[in-house]
Every structure is written in C-alpha cells, then in structure tokens.
Amino acid sequence: MVRPATRAGRIERRIARAERGPADAVDAGPSRRGRRSTPYLLVGPGVAWLVLLFVVPLGSLLVTSLKTGSFAEGFETAVRLRNYSDALSESWEAIKRSFVFALVATLAAAAIGYPLAYVIAFRGGRYKGLLLGLVVLPFFTSFLMRTLAWKTILSDSGTLNTTVDRLHLFGALEFLRLVPEGSDRLLQTNIAVIGGLTYNFLPFMVLPIYVSLEKIDRRLVEAARDLYSNAFRAFRKVVLPLSIPGVMAGSLLTFIPAAGDFVNAELLGGPQQTMVGNRIQSRFFEQVDYPAAASLSFVLMALILIGVLLYARLLGTEELTG
C-alpha cells in the first residue's frame, strides 16, 4: 500500500541541510572569541554553586560512609565496605517500607492530582490563577505545622477517627493493610503516613500535570470529537498521551522526596511505620554513628537512582524532558 520514505526522504533531508547551512556559519568577526566565552561565564555561578554545595559535600559524605570507629573513640578514614552491608541488612525493612509508602503516595497523589489539574486547565476559565493559588496556598505554612495539624485531625478522639469507626471502615482499611489487625485508630498506622505524604507532596504532582495539560491545543480535542470519538475516547487517545510528560515529572517530584521523608513517619506513624529517613536520622542524632548514617544515605540515593532510571527506561527518556 505505502512505500517507505527512502529516496524522497533523503533528498528532503539534504535540502533541509542545505537550507540550514548559512545560518550555521557564524561570522568570524574580531569579537568572536569574546562571544564564545559568554556561555561559560553565564554557567559559571551555577557550576560553582553545584561544585561547592553538591559535589564537595557528596565527596565528604562518601568519605564518611567508609570510616571506621565510633563517636567516643573517634572516626578514622578507611574503606570499610561493611558499613554498607550493615546498612542494607539492618534497615532493609525500613527501605522496603519507604519505597512502598512513596509509591502508594505517588499513585494516590496522581489519582487526586490529575483530575484536579484537568479541571483547572480545561474548566478553570478565568479562575485558573486563583485555583492554582489555592493548590499552593497551604504551602505558605511550614511543612512541620501542616503535618502536626494532621496529627490533630487524625487523633483518636477526633471526628475523622470516630466517623471511620462508626461507619465500620476499619475492616476495609485492615484488608488493604493500611491499618494493623484489630486497629480502631488512624494515627500510627500506614494510612496516616501515606496520607501525610500524599498531602504534603500533592502540589508537586498537580503543577507539572497542569502545565502539560495547559499546553495541549484545545482544537486537538475538537478534532478527535469531530472524528467520531466520544469524550472519553478523545481523552484517552489525545489528552492523556499528551499529558504523560507532566505525569512523569510529577511522579518523580513526589516519589523522590517522599521516599526520603522522615517527618510524616515520625509525627503520624508509630514503630511499625519507620522509614529509611527515620533510620538515617536516628543513626545520626541518637546513635551518633556518622558512617552508618552516611552509608545508609548513599544506599537510599543509589536505590532511588536505579528506580528513576528504570522508570525512565520504561516510559521513554524523551518524555522526561518533553
């Protein structure tokens, strides 16, 4: 039926190249050298900032993570890989839990955030700015205050807890493993921590999705409707695929900080909700075991990196930047 674009394609590319030609040839005037150094000068401050505040501390953290000794006897620089195997074996449960919590929170944030972003982008009209402002508004108060407020909302004698109890919803939550067996309270359960994470990182999900939806030409939806698609098919075939980059960006912005978070588990969870962030924190502040805290940090970082790379591989890298 159709022939592959061979010869015509080649010719066209050649023409395109020829047309680009003159534009590529930058004039070689006397100020050329000065102009060429400008980009380097512009990235200079950024590079300096990153080297000073990211590369150097990271190197120092790496050195610390391999040290031997204790706080009382003093730490000595060494290459003690044991720190890493210890970190993995001692905190494996917490690491697993962190990833599960972060994943569930990311999915929940996407499930809540996508429809929210969709309504603002497609139905917001002149209230778009206001609605976006409302999404971000709670974040003008501190992270800690908001999480403490959740502690009050979820408290045992609070309205939410008693309502869930009265509606006999604890059985369902138990079935979903969101509360432990026989529990009649929300606080210090999985759902409290996951709920806190979802709430705290929701705007990081909503904003990128909003941006990608906002960019979509409305006539594409009309074109799909014109071509015999009902509203749902038009969404599934046109709007959803074109908003995937936003969902991907939002998922990363939610998942990465959620996996390393310790505040939500600390304030809303109990001993059964310990996340890797809590382990790092206790190694550092309570046990004053800096090498253990540092190696655990590296393990977390490496696992998140692997996760992100797999995710990018799965959905295509161009979607990440797209």
Partner 1 sequence: MPDERHAGAMSDDVIQLERVVKRFGAFVAVENADFAIERGEFFSLLGPSGCGKTTTLRMIAGFEQPSAGRVLLDGVDVSNVPPHKRNVNTVFQQYALFPHMTVFDNIAFGPRSAKVPKAEIDRRVGEILEVVRLGEFWRRSPSQLSGGQQQRVALARALVNYPSALLLDEPLGALDLKLRQALQIELKRIQREVGITFVYVTHDQEEALTMSDRIAVMNKGRVEQIATPRDIYDNPATLFVAGFIGAANLLGGTVVRADGHGGSIALSAGPTVEAVLEPSLALKSGDTVTVMVRPDRIRLAGPALGDAQAPRIAGRVETLVFHGPLLRVDIRTASGSIVSAHLGTDVAIADLRPGDDAALTWDPTHSVVIPDYKADPVSGIGATEGIEST
Judged by the rule CB under 8 A, the positions of this chain that interact with partner 1 are: 1-6, 8-9, 217, 219-220, 222-230, 233, 237-238, 241-242
- For the record, the structure tokens of 120 come out as 């603002």
Is-contact 274 92, C-beta < 8 A?
no
Q: Judged by CB, which is closer to partner 1: 37, or 230?
A: 230
Assess contact for 65 and 297: CB atoms under 8 A.
Answer: yes
CA dihedral 57, 60, 62, 64 (to 10 degrees): -130
Q: Which is nearer to partner 1, 154 or 239 (CB)?
A: 239
In angstroms, what is the minimal distance from the CB of 129 to partner 1? 22
Toward partner 1, which CB reaches closer, 42 or 314?
A: 314
Contact assessment for residue 84 and residue 65, using Cβ atoms and an 8 Å cutoff? yes
As measured in angstroms, the least distance from the Cβ of 212 to partner 1 is 12
Report the residue number, 5 or 47, with the smaller CB distance to partner 1: 5
Nearer to partner 1, 129 or 241 (CB): 241
Which phi-psi region, left, alpha or beta, contains residue 225 (left: φ > 0; alpha: ψ -120 to 50)? Answer: alpha
Report in angstroms how near the CB of residue 214 gets to partner 1 at its nearest: 15
Output the smallest distance, CB 223 to partner 1, in A: 4
Report how far apart, in Å, the C-alpha atoms of 268 and of each of 69, 133, 188 are: 34, 27, 6
d(CA 150, CA 145): 9
In the complex, minimum distance from the CB of residue 235 to partner 1, in angstroms, rounded to a whole number: 13
